[in-house]
Every structure is written in C-alpha cells, then in structure tokens.
Structure 1
Amino acid sequence: MKTIADIAKIAGVAKSTVSRYLNGGSVSEATKQKIEQAINETGYTPNPFAQSLKAKKTSFIGTIVPRLDSYAASHTLMGIDEYLKEHHYQMIISNTSQKIEREIEQIYHFASQKVAGIIMLATEITDAHLQAFEKVNIPILLVGQEHKEVHCILHDDYQAAYAIGEYVLQKGHRKIAYLGVTEKDIAVGKRRKQGFKAAIEKEECEVRFFETSFNKFEAQNKAAELLAEFNPTIIVCATDNIALGALRAAQLKGLKVPKDISITGFGGYDVTEIIHPGLTTAKFFYQEAGRMAAQNILNLVKEKEVPLVTVSSFEIIERESVDSIRTFHL
C-alpha cells in the first residue's frame, strides 16, 4: 500500500507538498500534474481520517438508523431534523436494514464526509462499533441503547416495563405470556424484560417468556404458537408491532380481545389508538427524544458539557385491549 512519502518520491516533491495538495491547499499547476500522475500510477487512496483532522468540519450531522419503516425511528428522525434545522445544521440519513456491518461501514463513511457528529439509533453495540467510534474521533451519540463509554439518549425501558407489570397484576392476571426479542438488544430485549420480571415477582404467577423478532408477521406466527401451547390470560408484548401481530393471531384463532385474551404493547404508535380494540401500551415520546438527541450532539460538537446518559419519559396509556380478571369467593 502506497503512502504520501511514496507519492512524494515518485513526483519529486516534498511530503508536505503532497499533503497540502490532498487537503485542497495551493500548489503550482506543474506540481499538481506531477502529483496526480503519481497517484494515478500507484492507485493511491488518501486516508480520509488523516485528511479530516486538518479539514474544517461541516454543518452536517450523520444519522444512522436500522430501518426506515419503523414508527419509533421515523418520529425520532422528525425530532432530530426539526432541532437541527432550527440551529442551522442539516441531517444526513443512512438506513442500514438492521445489518451491523453496514452500521460500521457508515460510521467510517460519515467520518470521511467530515460530518460534525453522528447520531446512531442503535440496536446493539459491539466491539467493532466501539473501535470505529474511537478511530473516527468525532462526537457520537446513541439513541435507544446505552454504553458506559458513549453519550446516549435512553427511553426509560426498565421503569416502563415495571409499570406495565404492575398494571397487569392490578388487573388480576396471573397466567402471563411475555413475547419479547433477543437480549442482544439491551433496551428492548433485556431491560424491558427485566423491568417486567421485577414487577410480577411480587405475586405468585405462572409466567412464560417467548422470543420473536420486531416483524409483526413473525410475531403473529409466534403468538399463534404460544396460544396453542400455553393458553395465557394476557400476552405482554415488547413492542406495539409485536402486539399487533399477537392481536391478529388471536383474531385468526377466533379469540376475542380482551374477553378471551388480553394484550399490551410498548411504544404508543398512532395506530394503537385507532384499531379495535385500542391497545393498552407504554407510550414513549420519540419525537421529544429526537430533539434531545440533536441538542446533545450539537453541544458535543461545540465541546460543551453533556451528561453521559439522558433519559426520556413514558406514559401508560390504558385502552380496551386488557380485561380485568375477577376472582369470586363463595
């Protein structure tokens, strides 16, 4: 692999001259032609990170999302975009289709574009992510996931799940199915499960935990399986999309919600209010979280002090999808 020193030697100029040329500095036309010829002959590719250290940062904020067809992602992006525009910054969006290798590539790509900072709507933080964060050396902020070394905006997943657990117990349910996602997703897969378990441990319950994906159709299939296997009085779902899948599975089996089976979700998506029956859910304020994320990343860009963890609020929305289980004593 050729270096600046190799290019300088072939072109017959100083390394500093090659560096100045690569960073858009002033060089004579004759020198420029020599350097370009040497680059063409060798196939030399400049190191974007070395260049970005000397170059002025832009007013762009790179935003990495795992999927665009998500209520949570789209409303978070709306909040980010609104705040950035108000402060004369612009957002560049990259969709990674839930592929970790694309997330890593995009971190490096954004850095090569000299963005001022990166907001990442993460589902999982790996060693490769942390290595990329360190290499690019620009402000990075996570939304929805937590890591002790990275600034983040969190939804209050544990407390929201604890509140849902208390609500389920209050309604008298003691035979409960929890339909979640992989614990590799710390926020949705692990924290929500932990909060729910902590709440229901206060009562003697028969609880089984099942796992699916974020896809509502896969959730529908898994819900159909657990209904045949377990016959709970309620399915507590880790997201509203999963709850929509469970609702459809129940309907296809001829079960009435909430008379035959109760269902809850997490998220507070708009559709949960207009479907019948309306879905009881823990509502998160995604747009507000997006504005908080944009505010924090700009403060990091300006080298202002920012708390490592900022927590967004939630609210339990009670609708028609949960019935009360009454115990009668003779």
Structure 2
Amino acid sequence: MKFNIKDVAQKAGVSISTVSRVINSSKPVKQKTKEKVLDAIEELGYRPNAIARSLKVKHTKSIGIMTPDIANQFYPEVVRGIEDVANMYEYSIFLCNTDLNEEKELQYFAELEEKQIDGLIFMGNHVSKELRKEMESADIPVVLIGGKAPGIPSVTINNEKAAKDAVDFLLNQNHLRIGIITGKMKDPMMGQARLKGYQQALEEKGIEPEEELIIEGGYRYKSGYDGAKKLMALKVPPTAIFVCSDEMAIGACRAILEDGYEIPKDVAMIGFDNVDISGKVYPSLTTIGQPMYEMGAIAMRLITKILQKESIGALDIILDYEVIEREST
C-alpha cells in the first residue's frame, strides 16, 4: 500500500503542513514533533516526491491556484487571466479544486507548500481560521480573489454596492415585491454582502424585507432552480428576483418557465457575474458584470510584485462592475 503525506500527518498526530516542513526543512519544528513525524515516515515507508526531497531552492517558478470549482463558469475566465500573466513571467501553475471544503483546502495548501510553490492565489469568499493559520506560518505570498481577509492582498468588487445596484435597477422598473436567491449564508460575499445590499436597497425605498422572499441558495444551477420553485410557490409570488450568481439565475429561469410564467412579463430576473452563457440563453440574462479576466490578471501581477519585493500599493484592490441590461428585465 502506498501512503501519502496525509497518512503521515494522521499517524504522527500533526497537521499536513507540519509534515511538509519537516520534509523540506522549510520552517523550524519542535524536536519532539519532528521525531514523531520522522518515526511515522519510517513506519509507513513514505517517500516524499522529488521536489520535497531536493534541496530547498529559492524559486520554483510555480504558482498554486485554489479554486472552488473550475466547472463553475465564473472561474475559468479568472484562471485564464492568471495563466496569461503567469506565462508572461514564465511561471507554471498548479490548479486545485477545493469544492469549498475546508479539509480539502488545508490538504491542498500543504501539498502545494510541499511542492515549494512561490505564491498562492486563493479563490473563495471565506478563509477558514485553520487555513489562515497555515497561511501565516508558511513563507508563501498569498493573494485572494473574490474575498477579503485582514493582512492578505485581495482583488474583488464592492459586492454589497453591486447587489444594491441590482435591486435598485428592479425597483426603478416599479417592482416592489422582489425575491432573492443568495449564495451560502456563511459566505461573506455571495451570501452576506449581497444580501445586505438587497436589504439596503429595499429599506431605502421604505420596503421592509420579508423573510419568505429570502432564499438561501448555493452556487450551482440546481440551487437556483430549487430557490425559484420555492419563491413562485408563495401565496403572493415576487414580480422580480435577484439571483446572486448567473448559473443559479439560469436555473431559476428554467423553474419559472416550467411553472408557466413568462420572463420578464410575469417575473423579471437579474443575475450576477456576466458569465459567457448569460448572454446566450433565452431570454438573455440581465446581470452584474464582474471583470473576471482582470481579477485573475491583476492577482497574478500582485504575486509577481511581492516576489520581486516591489510595492503593491493598496492591500485591497476594488475593481469596477456594471449593470448589463438584457431581455430578462
């Protein structure tokens, strides 16, 4: 049986990152802890990969990318921006899909650290306490895309204001009963910030947000589909819905059309992201356009600046967005 670094960590009762540091001699580790790791390595017969066994080098010219799900249409365009700038500076990339699973995030971070990456770009709206601790103890520059964490450079948009603008757009079309399908509520951007923007827009118009019109979704097509089914089953359905991602919005459109409603005659719809398919479906989707490619390109450029000891200016880079009006409104 072939054992991996995770097996060694479990055997020694330490984190994967600690095992990585013992193998690479990249950070000081207490002697007692080091001995436990070495004993586990010997007992399991674990053989680190070639990079981990080699002498510590100054640069490997490699960058790690941790993304929630490359199949989600938002992320490929961001990764393309990263990759194009990485190629310009002759960096290779390692791409990891985390599925927003905190254990996976920790495992991938340790594996990327073992590969001695020069920097990490983390895509996801939430950095767990455990991952933040590992990031702080590793000597690896990190840049966030789409989220924020104190002391870590980030590239994002003002999600709260963008959500408010989306709902204001619907209010200006005389919709007074507006539903929302959020991201996961533990998500500080797609969940919390965009919900806050929705609530603020309604409150400024003198409308009290109703709990029954707020549906927690997720990130994918089915959660939008299910959310719209719930909203349209209400005794008084909404006349418009703000959906916090285009992929969910497309699912919501399918549910509404299945129920015999017309878009936008009976129900108007606005999404978020402006992924490529949003302009190709029928009816085409009104949405908040995020500069996805630019997010990736700028994040990668920040990594190169940090590695070259250049000033990066502001820690948080806030990019512009736009309301793109199409057939769904």
CA contact (8 A) 1:179 1:211 kept: yes
Counterpart for residue 58 of structure 2: 56
Name which of 81, 84, 96 aligns with 2:83: 81
Shift of 1:41: 8.1
Q: CA deviation at 1:205?
A: 2.7
- Pick one of 216, 221, 243 that aligns with 1:216: 221
TM-score, length-scaled by structure 2: 0.81
Note closer, same or farther for the CA distance 1:41–1:162 as it changes in structure 2 (3 Å cut): closer
Alignment of 1:311 with 2:318, yes or no, is yes
The code of the aligned residue for 1:78 comes to: R
Q: Say whether 1:150 aligns with 2:152.
A: yes
Q: Match of 1:303, as an amino acid?
A: K
Q: Structure 1's 148 and 52: CA in aligned 2 closer, same or farther, altered over 3 A? A: farther
Contact persistence 2:73–2:247 (CA under 8 A): no
Query: 5+ unaligned residues in a row in structure 1: which ranges?
Result: 1-20, 24-38, 323-330
The AA in structure 2 aligned to 1:270 is D
* CA drift at 1:183: 2.5
CA offsets 1:261-310 (integer angstroms, 9 cap, x no match): 11110011111112121111100010011000000011111222222101
RMSD across aligned C-alpha pairs, in angstroms? 2.6
Whether the 8 Å contact between 1:122 and 1:144 is mirrored in structure 2 is: yes
Q: 1:226 aligned to 2:228?
A: no
Aligned amino acid, residue 308 of structure 2: K
The corresponding residue for 1:68 is 70
Distance 1:252 1:86, change over 3 A: same
Query: CA offsets per residue over residues 166-198 of structure 1, 9 Å max, x none?
Result: 211111111111111222111111111112222
Q: Distance in 1 between matches of 2:279 and 2:153?
A: 33
Post-superposition offset of 1:50 = 10
- Call closer, same or farther: CA 1:201–1:147 in 2, change over 3 Å: same
Larger radius of gyration: 1
Matched residue of 1:105: which SS? helix
1:202 is displaced (CA, Å) by 1.5
On the 8 A contact 2:155/2:298 being kept in 1, the answer is yes
Equivalent position SS for 2:204: coil
74-83 or 158-167, which moves further after superposition? 158-167
Match of residue 112 from structure 1? 114
Q: Which amino acid aligns with 1:312?
A: L
Deviations 1:58-106 (A, max 9, x none): 1001111111101211100000000110111111111123322111111
Code of the aligned partner of 2:150: K
Q: Aligned ranges for residues 278-293 of structure 1 at < 5 Å?
A: 278-293=284-299
The aligned residue for residue 12 of structure 2 is none
Q: Would the aligned equivalents of 1:283 and 1:317 in 2 still touch at CA under 8 Å?
A: yes
C-alpha separation between the residues in 2 aligned to 1:250 and 1:226? 9
CA distance in 2, matches of 1:41, 1:103: 27
Contact 1:236 1:264 in 2 (8 A): yes
Distance 2:43 2:281 in 1: 64
Which residue of 172, 192, 210 corresponds with 2:194?
192
The one-letter code of the counterpart of 1:153 is: V
Work out the CA distance in 2 between the residues paired with 1:238 and 1:84: 30
Contact 1:61 1:116 in 2 (8 A): yes
Shift of 1:42: 9.3
Query: Aligned pair count?
Result: 287
Query: Share of identical aligned residues, percent?
Result: 27
1:240 is matched with 246
Please give the alpha-carbon distance, in whole angstroms, between the structure 2 residues aligned to 1:271 and 1:211.
23
Distance 1:155 1:53 in 2: 41
Contact 1:176/1:206 (CA < 8 Å) preserved in 2?
Answer: no
The AA in structure 2 aligned to 1:200 is L
Contact 2:143-2:154 at 8 Å conserved across structures = yes
The answer to whether the 8 A contact 2:52-2:116 is kept is no
CA distance in 1, matches of 2:167, 2:216: 18
**Structure 1 equivalent of residue 28 of structure 2:** none
Q: Which runs of 5+ in 2 are unaligned?
A: 1-22, 26-40
